[in-house]
Amino acid sequence: MDSNKKISIAIDGPAGAGKSTIAKLISKKLKIVYLDTGAMYRSVALKAIRQNIDTQDAKKVSDLVKDINIEVKHINEEQRIYLDGEDVTDFIRTPEVSIGASNVAVIPEVRIKMVELQRDIASKCSVVMDGRDIGTYVLPNATLKIFLTASIEERAKRRYNEQLLKGITNVSYEEVKNDILYRDKNDSSRAFAPLAKAEDAIELDTTNMNIDEVVSKILGLIEDIC
């Protein structure tokens, strides 16, 4: 790969398909910036929840994002997300924020603001971005577009195990699965920039693939292009 060439890799797909794990490894391997766009929607949801605003209330959430300040910083190769100056990285992974993020992501005013930030980052450096609409809307000219999927059972199992590892034991497998089903439906049925596979994206079903296999496959695809 020509290391001087600016590239952008879009990784889209439903919750639990492995996007962030894979994107982080690709970014390390290629020494390019990783941008977790879901963290931005999560930060908007956190702000709403903290102010007791219903995350489905489009009017109130739109007002809320008018003067929101979301910044992404990379510290020790890790993405940290700042909401109005506060590092909220460790507060945005709760089930309540996950559902809230999916709700606020339906609202066009929210998306327009987040996409502006995402495109600005991609205009400055090589990136691997994960999300729902990166290949279809945020970066339609991305160097490579990947659409990662996996069965609902496998995705729920991965998220459930992740939670156990973090010490979260009060959320059952069924609850995790139902949250994912809710978000799948919400994310793919919204009118503006829904979760969808771009026509020119390569779909990878990771149900029976391990992390190394997925990373090798994507690195091979990048080699072929760059």
How many whole angstroms separate alpha carbon 124 and alpha carbon 60?
A: 32
Residues of span 190-209 touching ligand DC by CB under 6 A: none
Residue 183 interacts with ligand DC (CB under 6 A)?
yes
DSSP state of 91: G
DSSP 108-174: HHHHHHHHHHHHHHHHHS-EEEEESSIIIII-TT-SEEEEEE--HHHHHHHHHHHHHHTT--SS-HH
Binder to ligand DC among 22, 25, 65, 105 (CB under 6 A)? 105
Candidate ranges 55-63, 76-84, 129-137, 147-155; the one touching ligand DC (CB under 6 A)? 129-137
Report the chain's C-alpha Rg in angstroms: 17
Residue 81 interacts with ligand DC (CB under 6 A)?
no
Nearer to ligand DC (CB atom), residue 24 or residue 42:
42
x-or-dash string of contact with ligand DC, 40-59, rule CB under 6 A: -xx-----------------
How many whole angstroms separate alpha carbon 8 and alpha carbon 122?
A: 7
Q: How far is the CB of 2 from ligand DC (least distance, A)?
A: 28
Candidate ranges 33-41, 75-83, 152-160, 162-170; the one touching ligand DC (CB under 6 A)? 33-41
Q: How far is the CB of 37 from ligand DC (least distance, A)?
A: 4
Query: Alpha carbon of 20 to those of 33, 35, 201: distances in Å?
Result: 13, 9, 17
Nearer to ligand DC (CB atom), residue 30 or residue 92:
92
Could you tell me where the beta strands, DSSP code E, fall in 27-97?
33-36, 70-75, 78-83, 86-87
Residue 100 interacts with ligand DC (CB under 6 A)?
no
How many whole angstroms separate alpha carbon 87 and alpha carbon 70?
A: 10
Nearer to ligand DC (CB atom), residue 18 or residue 131:
131
Query: What number of chain residues touch ligand DC (CB under 6 A)?
Result: 14
Query: Are β-strands 78-83 and 70-75 bridged in parallel, bridged antiparallel, or unpaired?
Result: antiparallel
Residue 15 interacts with ligand DC (CB under 6 A)?
yes
**Residues in the site for ligand DC, rule: CB under 6 A?**
15, 37-38, 41-42, 101-102, 105, 131-134, 183, 187
